[in-house]
Structure 1
Amino acid sequence: MTESTQPDSASPESASPGAAVRFSDLNLPAALLSALADVGYETPSPIQAACIPLLLAGRDILGEAQTGTGKTAAFALPMLANLDLSDTRPQVLVLTPTRELAIQVAEAFAKYARHLKNFHVLPIYGGQSMVVQLRQLSRGAQVIVGTPGRVMDHLERESLKLDALKAIVLDEADEMLRMGFIDDVDWILEHTPADRQTALFSATMPNVIREVARRHLRAPEEVKIRSATATIAKTSQRYWLVRGVDKLDALTRILDAEESFDAALVFVRTKIATEELADKLAARGYAAAALNGDMTQGLRERVIEQLKNGSLDIVIATDVAARGIDVPRVSHVINYDIPYDTEAYVHRIGRTGRAGREGVAILFVAPRETRMLKMIERATRQPITPIALPSSEEVSNLRVAQFKRQVVETVNAQELGFYMDVVNSLAEENELDVHEIAAALAYLAQRERPLQLEQSGRGWDLATAEPSSGGRAPREEHFTTGAARERTPRPNRDEILSRRRSFADGALARYRIEVGRSQGASPKEIVGAIANEGGIEGKYIGQIHLFDDFSTVELPANLPDELLAILKRTRVRQMALNIRPLSAAEAAATPERRRPPRDAAPQGERSEGGWHKKRDFGHKADFESRPSRPASDTQRGAWERDRTKSPAAPRREERRDERNGPTTGKPAARPSNPPYSASKPRRKKDD
């Protein structure tokens, strides 16, 4: 097993200048070396130095390395070197857990193959037009990068043929396991040539992954990069102890105060939170957009492209939607919601500090989340230092300074003759001083992001989020825009969800949601959306009935208005639920098809002997009361003999004969076709 430590100064695609080996020492073709020189890479990272010679020699590899260690180049470069460019059939297949990562890997292949003639790489994933993919596959591509579900689709259609496949790469196998794709991966591997080369990369190596490797890899060489801090070492990590009501203000102050800020990824836990936070930031004048799994693939790609070209500065994303994003200008990663585990944190902050640049990671920590903070520090082996947020006065000064710079740059760079004529005309017509006009224009220009912030009068220690006077709760800062100040600000979603829903009376009411069978919704998806977005435990969600264009769901009666507001915006199958209580007329028109709960008591009166009297058995005779069971062994033996002579005794045997056949008593034949093929795993939708 090859084991090495990633140096602190290593970048995602190249190592530190102090490393001994260079790319030119790894027997890579001249065309690939030229492409590496074009992007400024000279020295490989440890995983690249370890994997490239092995893959060039045709060995199978089991690689354990965190994100940001340069593993894409570690497998892309040797795979490109071994291609037969005269053959346009697929020779390399790369499986990734998400669409975004598939696109990033395909872009990396294209970047390194820029000097290779007749090379084609094709990303295939769910959410993209099947017609377009079929047309592209018919033209031919030597490298296919895809998600498991869409690759299976093409293999079943025989639009993707792997008879010429030389190698397959499983990238981020642990993430595919977490997302439930590992059975699909297993099926795909079984449909590839037996003599193909296999490379499996994973940030962790659970037993399930090792079992896949045992079945499908041939005497693999294990490569382990022990450091999980390859990009973390180049990332300054800080945290702020925060309360939910202050998080938005804290975020805007950080964005204004950070001198090295270029672009930011802001991580939240839920899809609906991405939309809410993006809208709030846009309303405050920031170029922000959401990125989540409910967006169409085209829209998600557009958001990432806008982040790359500078049209957007802030993207609010969920963990899954941001997997694989590699945008060098991302200078900051802000954990607006603390992640559920340390591995997710490592993946999050791996989005910054890339390509040799310094990065900044800021974590918002509620008082109850300090235990997770300590766990993250232990996992990353890096200290996370507390920060004090800038005061309102400091933020105002920073905004004024930025405004002055923009004015000076505009005066120096733009032709302003027409605008000077407009100002002079305005001054003459209204007897105004040009300074007054300039001040009015400054006021209009800063309307969305006020240059002067006004506090509510009570000081705050923003480093600890504790009130500085009287222990009273804080009031949000207010801008000098003339807006009325609210006495009781509406609680935000984080506060609402932090209160665990408890409905003691257990009374349920029926609600209508605007998604049904025609949208492809399932009860499982509806339960998941309500539980995750509304914070309602599953035990409080009752019967769900699907209709063509809507559904009904039982939830606790009299849900709070703020929770209904959240559930109205919650989406299933890209459709807002728009939940509302079911009216009496609608309830009458959509009768319940109620099943008794599993643990419900039987209905009807119970006789002393134990049989239910108020049951309608149709043509069957009423049952007699069952005699009490004797307590002693002697009495029990006599009771058994009497029971076998009872006319009711054969009833169970008669039922068994009805099941097994009228005359022979042989068991009935089992269905010839199982509900699904045992040789193929049940399908799981790509994220």
Structure 2
Amino acid sequence: MSSPSESFAQLALSAPILRALEDVGYESPSPIQAECIPHLLEGHDLIGQAQTGTGKTAAFALPLLNNIDLSKKTPQLLVLAPTRELAIQVAEAFQSYARHMKGFHVLPVYGGQGMDSQLRQLKRGVHVVVGTPGRVMDHLRRKTMSLAGLKALVLDEADEMLKMGFIDDVEWILEQTPDSRQIALFSATMPDVIRKVANRYLKSPKTVKIKSESTTVDTIDQKYWQVSGLHKLDALTRILEVEEFDAAIIFVRTKNATAELAQKLEARGYASAALSGDVTQALRERTITQLKKKVIDIIVATDVAARGLDVPRISHVINYDIPYDTEAYVHRIGRTGRAGRKGTAILFAAPRETRMLRAIERATNKKIERMQLPSIEAVSNKRVTEFKQQIIDTIESEDLTFFNEVLMQIETEQNISPNDVAAALTFLLQKERPLMPKAQAVPKARKERDRAANSTDRPREKRPAPGSLGKARRLKRHPEVEMARYRIEVGKIHEASPGDIVGAIANEAEIDSQYIGDIKLYDEFSTVDLPADMPADIFQLLKKARVRQQALAISVTKDGAFGSKGGPRGGDKKRKFADKKEGGRSKSLGKEKFVNKRAGSKSRKPKSKGRISLSK
């Protein structure tokens, strides 16, 4: 085989996939990607032995996506994963890499998820299925999923499937696949049972083994902060205010993000510059020189742009975006703590990125401690201390004769004490950067027990106080319908849109969109106005529906009709939607009034654009 490629463009991947890689910030293949992609593109079976965090998902997803025929809407690729969390993660990776492949559909299938929604999407047509062995077996036995057109099958984390007792299920599934299919088996270890499976089902496989080396970083203090969605910039600003740093390098994934974040930091008073693969060599050298000479204190960079960067004054490395693999992380934090000096590395990690966090701990042979976000009081104390020092430095270094005369005039003419004049000047001076900043709503992740490494739970907000979410409004077109305000656990941090929410409700519960009222998006949840007397079966469907891979988990707000836990109150669980006639008497509208009739309906549910979510 030829030497590993230095760029994805050298790997014969299609133009849409290369565009997607540029979008998500992949600049060069990791070792496992560089070795696996050519083999899989050529149609070989493959055994890949590598740890989590080496970039193995892209190693099989990219080449196998390259071979997908979008005109055929039957499963062409099946990926088996040991857990629902990994299945969702892999499915999201496929969707990300296929973002420019028009009409592409991927479906994650796993236990605990409603079978009905999976059946609808399978009927609609999918190109890739990612699932746990048990649920895949269910579909095959029910004949709700056909593997007749299967081109390739991936066994991801095969050793974990063995540990969890799935190996018999895996072999049963393998027996249902066409003889012509391509197989890629990935496993961190190679127990005898896994080796026997490989020998039995794989045909002359190529073998790629990536050695995972632990790197000790004793001179670097590593810590992480639990990301809270849209509040990353506020959190970063607080950290920069309180941390005693000389210079910092902040890592992001994409070249666009380098410019955007550097501009935002400049606007907040930090001397910053962007460094990406697009900058010229002359500009790169000028930026590094400015950092060395303390003209700027912060560089926002991508992995490739920071290669070879050696500036002794870099005391902090901040991983604003978590890296795609552990090797990149080790390279990143290596920009500090050099030549025996102490350094600090801070990692921003979302709850769903816990697996990568654990992989990084293994790679660095060191536990990464969770940090607390600096309090408003800490920020205020730091600003006051700096302000005092600025006053002292100014008194010692500047001629203040003229200014003393002006202050004496104010004191004499207005009969104002020197202290009050100084306080007023301090107030005017600190307007742009208040010495007592207002508390910002940066939500903290809930305190909880240590989770399994594959957890994808997210921090939840405290439930709002009664009355805080308002009351439902009546529909203009149907003022006779009694409405209630519901809370759903999907919001801005999940990149949800009102159209996504309408689509989920219209598709999953078959409620016609004309009966879906106001939708308000908050950071971590949203509210939606729906008919007040929804039957229990409809309510349960909506609880399980998903938007952007997040369950709606619908409940009624405390301003709504049923109380905070949601669902119909006692009595007939199949009660009909009701509205009140003039005079307060109710008439039954019947469930069928709200049901989307499909044929001839003018529903405003959005057209499918190939998202993974159960509703489009």
| TM-score bracket relative to the smaller structure | 0.3 to 0.5
Structure number with greater Rg is 1
